[in-house]
């Protein structure tokens, strides 16, 4: 009996050490739940036409476009934070004409989501869109500036729900979304972008929808689409702003791609003049369309 009593303190000590060690191991497992995804993709597209003694006529031309896409995403338990930066800048030189820009994009997006028990996320989204350089109505004469940095600039903030059944599809619905149009350059006509004369900012309150999807079509051919819709509660809510992008990427090898890009834009607040419009006419909203077919070098890096 005395031997058993003498061993009790030893058993108690060993039990305490074992319990402490178990708690410590469990706590370490629970803390390590944060993961980061980061990466970028840079692309250089170029085309050239060189004519020498060409009897059918024509002009020499050279064009180049640089694109850069960077992302930094954070996941922890049921929360997800997505950050993206997209830029593009292109130039074109034709014959003896001046070199002018053909592409100019700066797009910053940040979206935070908290996952429900299903495939929906409570989400908040911030987006900034503008351009880097000045744009002219007549680029060769460099008169009548129609755009520059933050003129216009579009700033959006939205609260809503994001449906994400997988990593390739997202449907973001926001019943409460603000959209601010900024024209910070005095040399740009603010009326062209829906602002009153001498205004710098114009704010809207409305509903916002954003859908993105990407998928491989066949081997080495990928398709990506993204559509944004916005309705202004305060003015003409049935005149919906549309921005629809489609990108088809055909991979030749590790670094060489053929890209087909289309973008359709309709903004009820942007006034566009036809070439034959009167100078006193302020124009009106029109459907804008852009198509680019290019062969480019691509370098991609990502870490998960």
pLDDT of residue 198: 87
**pLDDT at residue 28, as a whole number:** 46
Q: Is the distance from CB of 65 to CB of 84 less than 8 angstroms?
A: no
Residue 107 pLDDT: 97
> Looking at residue 245, what is its pLDDT?
97
* pLDDT on residue 17: 43
| Per-residue confidence in pLDDT tens, the chain, 304 aa | 444 444 444 444 444 445 444 444 444 445 557 899 999 999 999 989 999 888 888 889 999 999 999 999 999 999 999 999 999 999 999 999 999 999 999 999 999 999 998 999 999 999 999 999 999 999 998 889 999 999 999 999 999 999 999 989 999 999 999 999 999 999 999 999 999 998 999 999 999 999 999 999 999 999 999 999 999 999 999 999 999 999 999 999 999 999 999 999 999 999 887 765 555 566 789 999 999 999 999 999 998 7
């Amino acid at each position: 009996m005395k031997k058993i009593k003498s061993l009790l303190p030893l058993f108690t000590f060993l039990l305490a050490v074992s319990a402490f060690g178990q708690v410590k191991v469990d706590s370490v497992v629970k803390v390590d739940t944060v993961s980061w995804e980061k990466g970028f993709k840079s692309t250089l597209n170029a085309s050239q036409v060189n004519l020498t003694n060409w009897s059918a006529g024509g002009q020499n031309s050279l064009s180049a476009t640089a694109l850069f896409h960077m992302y930094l995403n954070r996941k922890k338990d049921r929360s997800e934070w997505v950050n993206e930066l997209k830029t593009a800048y292109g130039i074109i030189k034709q014959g003896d004409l001046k070199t002018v820009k053909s592409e100019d994009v700066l797009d910053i997006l940040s979206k935070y989501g908290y996952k429900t028990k299903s495939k929906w996320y409570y989400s908040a989204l911030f987006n900034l869109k503008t351009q880097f350089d000045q744009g002219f109505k007549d680029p060769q004469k460099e008169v009548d500036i129609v755009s520059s940095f933050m003129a216009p600039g579009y700033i959006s903030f939205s609260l809503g729900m994001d449906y994400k059944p997988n990593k390739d599809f997202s449907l973001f619905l926001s019943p409460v979304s603000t959209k601010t149009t900024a024209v910070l350059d005095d040399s740009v006509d603010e009326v062209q972008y829906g602002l009153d004369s001498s205004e710098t900012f114009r704010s809207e309150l409305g509903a916002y929808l954003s859908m993105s999807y990407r998928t491989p079509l066949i081997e080495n051919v990928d398709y990506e689409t993204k559509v944004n819709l916005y309705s202004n509660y305060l003015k003409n809510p049935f005149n919906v702003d549309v921005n629809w992008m489609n990108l088809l990427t055909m991979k030749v090898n590790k670094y060489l791609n053929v890209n087909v890009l289309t973008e359709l834009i309709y903004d009820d607040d942007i006034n566009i003049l036809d070439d034959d419009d009167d100078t006193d006419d302020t124009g009106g909203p029109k459907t804008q369309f852009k198509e680019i077919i290019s062969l480019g070098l691509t370098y991609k890096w990502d870490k998960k």
